[in-house]
Structure 1
C-alpha cells in the first residue's frame, strides 16, 4: 500500500529509519519504506505487513493519530507474490 504522508514542519528528517519506524506505533510485523520525498514535508511511503488491506488500514488509522502527521493519502499498490 502506498501512502503520501504530509508531516508537520518540526520533523527534522523524515527519511530517518527510526522516525519511520516510530510511526508504526504498536503494529509489529508492519514496515514503512521510503519511496520518495516529494518536498520538505511530504513523503511517499510503502506500507507492507502480514495481513490484508484492512490490517494496513488499521495501521494508517493509528498513523493519522500521530501529532507529527498532518494528512495521509492512501493508494493500493499492486500485490506482489
Structure 2
C-alpha cells in the first residue's frame, strides 16, 4: 500500500496586493519604517516569508487589507511516501 501526502504551499501575494492598492515599494517602505530593499525582498518572495505578527499587522495596516489577502494556500502535487505492507 502506498500512502501519499499533500505538500502544502503558502503563496505570498504581497506584490498583487500592492498593485491592487497602487502602492509602490518606496511608499510602503516609508509606511513600515523599512529600507526599500527589505520591502523589495518581501514583495518578490514567492512563498510566505518568516514574519512575525507585528510585521504582518503593519503590512495589513499600510495596505488596508487582511492577512488572508496576503497569503493563499495552494496544495502542491502529492508526494509519494514509503510503501507499507
> TM-score normalised by the shorter chain: which range applies?
0.3 to 0.5
Q: Which has the higher contact order (CA 8 A, sep 6+)?
A: 2
Q: What TM-score does the superposition give when structure 2 sets the normalisation length?
A: 0.36
More strand by share: 1
Q: What TM-score does the superposition give when structure 1 sets the normalisation length?
A: 0.37
More helix by share: 2
